Amino acid sequence: MRIKITRKEAREHLEQFKLACELARLIRHFFPDLVPLLKQIPDPRNQSYITYPGVILLMTRILSSLFYIGSMRKTSEVHDHEACFYSYGCDHQECLVHIERYLKDSMENEKDLTWNRQMLKLIQDMIHENNTAPAEGMAEEKNTEFEARYDAVVERAGEEYGDTPPSDYYRDGYNLYLRMVEYKHNHLLFLSNPLVEPDNNLCERKARVLKGKINQAISLRSFEHLTYFCECLSVLDHFATDSEDNLYESVKEVFTRQKPIQPKSEKLQSANTTLSEYKAG
């Protein structure tokens, strides 16, 4: 099922993407050696277990410092428990759609337990309440209620695993329980911060288009080509969500649009006049 977004949201997403592309161009133009130098910094992490290269994490911290983002409350990341991100000073929201997937897996493999079903129901209730809440966020009483339910379910999970320890064959459910105990704040951040989404589904859906093309038959020879390709995807997505016209007709209108005539500058006109007078003389 396709999730529709409003025209205002589509315009905001397009402006944010354009800003990111412009920032990338400025960095490449004025600091062409920055990224190669960052790539030379040794990464002490095990390369077999990382998702984001060290240069991405370093650039994130550099940009956050430039924009005076020094507090954990001023920025946030939504991700699937990328543990290395927690070392870089940002606040984080665990993607609850991934958590739902892990809970369903636990329900299939640990049928005698009840905490996984209770937690799945709680997450679904929280997401529903968040989607219907006003722009300023949920009421404080509702947040308190959800936190109390969260604590009760986690406590129930501890009791059940105490009575029925996890087997060596399947420990994912138990590991999820431990994670939800340690990272409670990061599972419930969206309740207290209305600017934070409970999942990163929209981002993943948009990026999946590029990922699928790369896996098929696409070859990008430079970062500039990647930027152009992403800009085209962004424009097409904008037409698909914002325009009421046919997508093909919207794209066709762009290519058939007559370019405005650029007025000549006074300096160029003065030079042409001088040259004409010189030839006439």
pLDDT tens track for 153-204 = 999 999 999 999 998 889 999 999 999 999 898 889 888 877 778 877 666 6
- pLDDT tens for residues 18-36? 777 777 787 888 888 888 8
pLDDT of residue 35: 83
Residues 141 and 126 in one domain: yes
Domain count for the chain, please give it: 2
227 and 21 in contact (C-beta within 8 Å)? Answer: yes
Residues 77 and 212 in one domain: yes
Residues 59 and 175 in one domain: no
More confident of the two residues 52 and 103? 103
Residue 143 DSSP code = H
Residues 204 and 164 in one domain: yes
Distances in whole angstroms, Cα of residue 275 to Cα of each of 263, 267, 281 = 19, 12, 10
pLDDT of residue 85: 63
The residue from 42, 68, 94 where one domain ends is 68
Partners of 79 in the β-ladder: 94
157 and 115 in contact (C-beta within 8 Å)? Answer: yes
Distance CA 114, CA 116 (A): 6
Q: Is residue 278 part of a domain?
A: no
Residues 210 and 80 in one domain: yes
Largest CA distance in the chain: 105
Distance CA 242, CA 90 (A): 32
pLDDT of residue 71: 46
Q: Is residue 82 part of a domain?
A: yes
More confident of the two residues 89 and 47? 47
Residues 14 and 113 in one domain: no
Q: Is residue 241 part of a domain?
A: no
The residue from 28, 49, 68 where one domain ends is 68
More confident of the two residues 173 and 246? 173
Distance CA 71, CA 140 (A): 23
Q: Is residue 212 part of a domain?
A: yes
Residues 141 and 214 in one domain: yes
Does the pLDDT at position 207 exceed 70?
Answer: no
More confident of the two residues 214 and 122? 122
Q: Is residue 11 part of a domain?
A: yes
Query: What domain range is 183 assigned to?
Result: 72-221
pLDDT of residue 151: 95
pLDDT of residue 95: 84
Does the pLDDT at position 73 exceed 50?
Answer: no
Give me the helix-helix angle, 172-182 and 140-163, nearest 10°.
140
The residue from 49, 68, 87 where one domain ends is 68
Residues 142 and 189 in one domain: yes
124 and 103 in contact (C-beta within 8 Å)? Answer: no
pLDDT of residue 7: 65
Residues 15 and 136 in one domain: no
Residues 146 and 183 in one domain: yes
Residues 93 and 118 in one domain: yes
Residues 9 and 137 in one domain: no
Nearest CA to 199 out of 85, 123, 103, 95 is that of: 95
